[in-house]
Structure 1
């Protein structure tokens, strides 16, 4: 009887420890959420985003570094009107802008957008919304411009799109050039697909170059930890992911003569003319694009040479 009573108290103590741990975790999560909201409140009101009250537990250096407050500028974030333009125009305007993602633990990830594709809806046979068809899967393509549309392809990879002006129109982000949080992006890429329940023989880490981390739609989603839980989010107001300008105070767009225009990737099955329509756009002379069109690049090169003469 004594042994049973002892076991009961031991179990109760263990359960108490579990409850305490869960409470601490919950409080930590709430604190992080409050801290992010406080940052946006400060930035939007024109105050410094960096907390200077050393007596406040919210303002210690480690958390400022974790959230990356010193590197975020809400004033640099694009507005709702930025997305409310025709699909091809948005695909071009996104080039050179920066995708910002606040990971689950507050780590800031940033990447310059270097490649996009337009999916026009309507008559575009390569679009999920071809002929105006709306389904639960493609509903974000018909939502407010600037809404995230994330779907799974090949059963395991995600693709990240942004809705724009026009029913069923959206822009696919095909490639990024990582510029912040590179260590975390690399970690996400290396750990993707690992079965943590089944131990395996450790393998040598591949020599992954920075330009290879996000040079494809599936790769950028893995690197930036983007999945279906981020679907149907408003990039104009959401505090975990948005688009911003590359340089503070510089809201200019990439010049047309620096943009390579080519056919979209992986849609040959839809047939012509849509399989060959020039609806892919990428930055000239950028190593981070998913696939180069050397013939189109030569045209851009010659035009640049002619303009300098």
Structure 2
């Protein structure tokens, strides 16, 4: 996994998984005052040596292999890799805190707005898919590790979008290029939370600040050992967000032209496709349409960010519409640049 080291008064920080969207390293020019390292977090001794060399005070753990990865890879990276990170953090006399990037999928969806207190976190014996289960197990380990030797906190991030090669933005623009923006799965009544990348990054810094409260503050809010839902503060149907994205990219498909595909039909097609992929690739590849993605769309997931507002001081820096505009603008500009480069 790629990682980045940032210099700061509370630092240095070690950002594990630094090649993703929250901390991007895929740009031609790297971020100033950041060192970049490559290290497999499932290699305990290699990770231990790296942390001894860097001597971070704080670790931000964002690494994961992608939600569509094989079950064995998900477990090895998300659970076993995290155990190594926690072990090395506790062993190190320098590391004082770990901020974990979790997901809203670690909790059972009910179709109603959830709070941290009433959300049911998946367990090892829960009947759910591999990605939410492994992330839930990892989050539980992170919060259980909180103590005198290591302060921990977990941020439950929903669907994320932003500048950079963001999967959600790029995938939907590609669908528009293929003329698929007039298709919709389901009746679009279930609500979701999303988060713009700058808001998500802001929440991580606030969580870190909350782990090290000022000695001048009497009775600071409890942050260590806690989980927090983070979002843009808006609840929106999935396809409404997609249409905002497509509109920002120049699409003006009228509502009467939208074709609604029923969930039951797509579930059948997805199940058949998954069976064929399993037979012919032995599970090494995943089809584009998967039953767990359809289940996510069918159920919806909304939650309150009141706890983050109250204890972290979290507020929305960039509203969702502006975040979409910025994200799509970046994607279209770089898409044109890449196309021009191929032609030249």
State the TM-score, normalizing by the size of structure 2.
0.24
Q: Which is greater in Rg?
A: 1
Relative to its length, the structure with more helix (as a share) is: 2
State the TM-score, normalizing by the size of structure 1.
0.25
